[in-house]
Each structure stands twice: as structure tokens, then as C-alpha cells.
Amino acid sequence: MQEPGEHELGEVQRRHWQATYEANPEMYGQAPSQPAMQAAEAFAAAQAHRVLELGAGHGRDALYLARAGFAVHATDFSETGLEQLRARAEAEDLTEVTTAMVDVRKALPLPDESVDAVYAHMLLCMALSTTEIRALVAEVRRVLRPGGALFYTVRHTGDAHYGAGVDHGDDIYEHGGFAVHFFSRQLVDDLAADWKLQQVNEFEEGALPRRLWSVVQTRP
């Protein structure tokens, strides 16, 4: 069977996430992730207010950041996930949460230097090619104000699923219908070129457990 091309794989993954959120509207629960709590502390210390979240899903982290006092623009490529996020934000009267359906393979629909911080929990390690990841980080740099912070997490090449499942090339492997781009440390360092790399911390999440890095880098 012929493997899907780069663009086709992204569309297959979009449909897969749509179906997943429809079938499991509470798949991640309502409690925030550990990275979201760490990001809130880092953003508060940096006196950030306007936060862009990439890959917000059904919103557990976006809502947590909004409760912590940030104005959150939550984006995802699943309209189903965003509908669930909006319903919860309205129920809690979190008026500073806005949403938009965004395909991160394209330019971010935001003005230059319009946000104070960007948060992306496992978005960069979705089914994106290395070229697309580099372009996305360049777009993040464009929309961040000087001194603004990017906080992201990714599964890395020490993860148990790295090298297993369907090999799509470019360190992308598919397991259970979900394609993941596993990051090498070299890729992390390359993405921080012309930034200030503040931290690279390893942590685990889930039952496997998944092995991830949390990365904080700031725009000079």
C-alpha cells in the first residue's frame, strides 16, 4: 500500500482528530496538563498577558491559562475540538478566551509582534515535516513581541514508540492512527537558533509512559 504524501498525511490526521474528539469529548479530561501549569508560571514571571495556544484541542490548557488571568487565543485544526472549548469557556464566562481554526502548515493569521507568549503542548510533534516545523517556528517568532516566550513540548527520540509502527520518514512514525514527529536534540537546538534557549527539560506523561521534552525559548 502506498504511503500518504506529506500533505495527504496531514489531512488524514486532521480527519482522525476530528473523529477522535467527536467520539471522546473528554479524552484528556478537564484538569490542566503539567506543562500548562509550568507555562503559566513562566508567562506570569515574564509579565505576559496575550497568549497564543497552538493545538488547543478541546481546551483543558487554554481554560486553565484563562483562569490564571491570561487572554488566550486558542487555535486548532479540529473544529469539533474548538466547539467543545468554546462551550466550556462560555459556561465558565471566560470572556478572554477566543478561538480560531488554524492550519499551522500555513502562515499564522496574526499581526507581527501581537502576542506576549506562545504555548504548544505536543503540537510541534504532530504529523509535520521538519521543513514545516521550521517554518512554523519562524511564524511564531514573527507574531511574538521582542522578549516574548515560546513554551512547547514534544515527544523525543528516546520515546518507546520511536522507530515503531508505520514509518512515514523524517522521524515520523504512526501508532494507533496517530502520527508523531519525534524530535532529536539537534532539532531542538536548530529551532532555537537566533533565539535565547532558556530550558530543555525531560518529563514523562501517560501510561506508556510517553517521554517528552519541554522547551522554553525567548525572542531576543
Residue 36: count of CB within 10 angstroms of its CB: 21
Query: Would you state the cell numbers that stand for residue 37, as one nine-digit string?
Result: 501549569
Condensed to tens digits (0 to 9), the pLDDT of residues 150-169 reads 999 999 999 999 999 999 99
Residue 109: count of CB within 10 angstroms of its CB: 12
Return the domain boundaries, the chain.
4-219
Superfamily of domain 4-219: Vaccinia Virus protein VP39 (3.40.50.150)
Query: Exposure of 85 by Cβ count < 10 A (0-12 exposed, 13-18 middle, 19+ buried)?
Result: buried
Q: 154 pairs with which residues across the strands?
A: 213
Condensed to tens digits (0 to 9), the pLDDT of residues 70-98 reads 999 999 998 888 999 999 999 999 999 99
Q: How far, in Å, are 68, 139, 202, 204, 207 from residue 72 at the CA level? A: 10, 18, 26, 26, 29
